[in-house]
Structure 1
Amino acid sequence: MAQIKKYPLLSQLRSEASSYVQYFRKGKTVRAGRGLSFWFDPTGASISEIPMDDRELNFMIKGQSSDYQDLAVQGVVSWRVVDAQRLGERVDFSIDLKSGRSAGKPQDQIRSVLNGLVREFADTHLKKYGVRELLEKGLAPLQAAINAGFTEDPTLTSMGLEIVSVRVAALTPSSELSRALQAPTFESLQQKADEATFSRRALAVEKERAIAENELNNQVELAARRKELIAREDANARSEAEALAAASRITVEADAEAKIVTAEAEARRIRSVEQAAADMETARMSAYGSVPPAVLYALAAQEFAGKLERIDSLTVSPDMLAGIMNQIKSLVGSTEAQG
């Protein structure tokens, strides 16, 4: 934007190097060039300022494919001025002599022209193909078609403009169309996902079956080992029982033999004692056989007296006393005779 300083009679203008300034006075060109700085009389003066740097236009247009499907095109067009005088003749770039700002909206006018051309070139390309083909080809063919359209169209050349570059950023179908186009791919992917899920489940089932078989085999093996263990324990218990039975039998037999031996010894002892008692009795009887009756009576009386604890009364008759005295005399007589 040009800078203007006002003084009492004159004003001073100073422009940037990227701006082309035209100074008109009374309908005639007084000065023209880039980056000018000059004094001028505001009365009767007209000044225009045309930017010479590269400018960009962001566009977003809508079109239809050959099968009548709506598509949105987004991109950027870079342009610049190559003939300022020609553009100044076609577009009003006059500035306010007090502020230096543009009096109108020339940029909007240029953008409108560029946007209309882009819409025309893009729509021509879109109507040649179906929506699926356009989307499959991508952005490059559309961008090339717009570039070719600018090259062939004389509108910008007649205005003194030049296209620097065209960049198409997106070619987008409507939301409904996008979902419809995505449906086959989505279904295919979903089918693949279902197949993957089925395969994964089948693999999981196979692994579970293998695990179950492994567990069953382990249980069978454990059952066989347990059966073998039980058989061994039974054999050991049977062997232990047989050993205990044999030991008990041996103990019983030993006890029986010991009892028999003890009984025989006891019988022999009893026989020996009884025999000794019988022999003693025989010897005693033999001894008593040679003893006179009176002595036997005396011994019997003595033994009888030894067994009595107490004698309360004793009755001696004359006959008993006479008999005893006779026996005593006989005994004394026999004793003297033996002497």
Structure 2
Amino acid sequence: MANIKRYPWISHFLGSPTGYVVHLQKGMVRHQGVGQAFWFRPANSVLSEVPVDDQELPTLFHAITRDHQDVSVQANVTYRFIDPVAVSMRLDFGLQTAGKAPATGREQVSTIIGQLCQSHAIDQIATTTLAEALERGVSQLRLVLTEALRADARLQSTGIEILGVQVLAVRPESDVERALQTPVREQLQAEADRAVYERRAVAVERERTISENEMASQIELAVRRENLVAQEGANARRAAEEKAAAGLIEAQGSAERKGIGAAAEANQIRLVGEAAAAREAATMEVYRGMEQATLLALALKDAAGSLPNIGNLTITPDLLSGALAGLFKEPAATVEPTK
């Protein structure tokens, strides 16, 4: 932006690096260029500053397709001023003093380029259907507008160069756009549903596989448990059989030991009995040849060992005479056995 310092009857101008200044004094060009600095008299001078940097112009307009559908076109035009002197003479880029209306050069350029874009875009879209405009309208319009604006005689004579045209969007009305989007949305929804169903099917298949694996594991565990129970039963039976066999062997051994002990005891008793019988026989054989008085004395001797203690013994004459008579009585003759 240019800087102007004002003094009484004279002013100083200091230009900017992007503004091309044209100083006219009494209808003649006194100064022109970028970054100028000079003194001038406001009373007889006219200053115009034309931007020399690239300018961006967004534009939006409507058009009707061949099948009578309204579409909106959004575009952006890039341009620059290649002849600032011609531009300053054709358009209003004057530097106004404070309190006056600003220059309208930029608005004039926007109107000119916008009307040209709209005119050529309407002609192009009128030859296409809505589907064609939505499908290839952006690229077609970009080529048509670029060629038309660059070849426009008014822009060339004004000193405006079109650097490029970008068509950002070609869109139908909102309800038509929603109607056109519905089949695609339905298709996308169908694809999403199919993906969901496939994912659920995969999940169900995986769950079934997991359930089968769990069932197989349970069956395997049941089989192993059955084998374990059978093995434990077999081990228990074998242990019982071994214990019974050991008990039988121990019982047999005990019975044999008891039989041997009983036989030994019976043999001992038999031997003792035989010895006692032999002793008795020998004693009887000895007693057989003794006299009766001797036998009586021996009997009294044996009986005395088993009788209780006798404190007082009274012997009557009758008892003493009978005993003495028995002692001195002659023994009876021994009868020989008959052979």
User: Once the two structures are superposed, what CA deviation does each residue of 1:2-32 show, in whole Å capped at 9, x if it has no partner?
Assistant: 555555554455656852414243xxx2325
Q: Which residue is equivalent to 1:31?
A: 29
Q: Which residue is equivalent to 1:311?
A: 310
Identity of aligned residues (%): 35
Task: Give the CA deviation at 1:102.
Answer: 7.8
**Cα 1:260–1:51, aligned 2, differ >3 Å: closer, same or farther?**
same
**Cα 1:38–1:312, aligned 2, differ >3 Å: closer, same or farther?**
closer
- Structure 2 portions without partners, runs of 5+: 331-339
Residue type at the aligned position of 1:63? H
User: Once the two structures are superposed, what CA deviation does each residue of 1:265-294 show, in whole Å capped at 9, x if it has no partner?
Assistant: 222222222222222222222222222222
Task: For 2:310 and 2:15, locate their aligned partners in 1 and report how far apart those are by CA, in whole Å.
Answer: 184
Which 10-residue stretch deviates more, 170-179 or 76-85?
A: 170-179
- Verify the 8 A CA contact 1:22 1:31 in the aligned structure 2: yes
Question: Pairwise mapping of residues 66-85 of structure 1 onto structure 2 (< 5 A)?
Answer: 66=65, 67-82=68-83, 84-85=85-86
Task: For 1:12 and 1:230, locate their aligned partners in 2 and report how far apart those are by CA, in whole Å.
Answer: 115
Give the total of aligned pairs: 325
Residue type at the aligned position of 2:76? G
Q: Which residue is equivalent to 1:334?
A: none
Task: For 1:262 and 1:14, locate their aligned partners in 2 and report how far apart those are by CA, in whole Å.
Answer: 150
Task: Give the CA deviation at 1:329.
Answer: 5.7
Is 1:258–2:265 an aligned residue pair?
no
Task: Give the CA deviation at 1:101.
Answer: 9.1
User: Once the two structures are superposed, what CA deviation does each residue of 1:224-248 show, in whole Å capped at 9, x if it has no partner?
Assistant: 4443444444333333333332222
Alignment partner of 1:19: what SS?
strand
Alignment partner of 2:81: what SS?
strand
Q: Which residue is equivalent to 2:158?
A: 159
- Verify the 8 A CA contact 1:4 1:99 in the aligned structure 2: no
Residue type at the aligned position of 1:127? A
Task: For 2:291 and 2:31, locate their aligned partners in 1 and report how far apart those are by CA, in whole Å.
Answer: 201
Normalising by structure 2, we get a TM-score of: 0.79
Is 1:213–2:241 an aligned residue pair?
no
**Cα 1:23–1:144, aligned 2, differ >3 Å: closer, same or farther?**
same
Alignment partner of 1:77: what SS?
strand
Is 1:94–2:130 an aligned residue pair?
no
Alignment partner of 1:300: what SS?
helix
Task: Give the CA deviation at 1:319.
Answer: 3.2
Question: Pairwise mapping of residues 30-49 of structure 1 onto structure 2 (< 5 A)?
Answer: 30-31=28-29, 34-35=32-33, 40-43=40-43, 45-49=44-48
CA RMSD after TM alignment: 3.4
Question: Pairwise mapping of residues 1-339 of structure 1 onto structure 2 (< 5 A)?
Answer: 3-6=3-6, 8-11=8-11, 13=13, 15=15, 18-25=19-26, 29-31=27-29, 34-35=32-33, 40-43=40-43, 45-51=44-50, 53-66=52-65, 67-82=68-83, 84-85=85-86, 87-96=87-96, 103-137=102-136, 139-173=138-172, 176-326=175-325
Normalising by structure 1, we get a TM-score of: 0.79
Residue type at the aligned position of 1:70? V
**Cα 1:240–1:41, aligned 2, differ >3 Å: closer, same or farther?**
closer
Which 10-residue stretch deviates more, 273-282 or 318-327?
A: 318-327
- Verify the 8 A CA contact 1:11 1:39 in the aligned structure 2: yes
**Cα 1:324–1:297, aligned 2, differ >3 Å: closer, same or farther?**
same
Which 10-residue stretch deviates more, 141-150 or 14-23?
A: 14-23
- Verify the 8 A CA contact 2:10 2:39 in the aligned structure 1: yes
Residue type at the aligned position of 1:31? V
- Verify the 8 A CA contact 1:92 1:104 in the aligned structure 2: yes
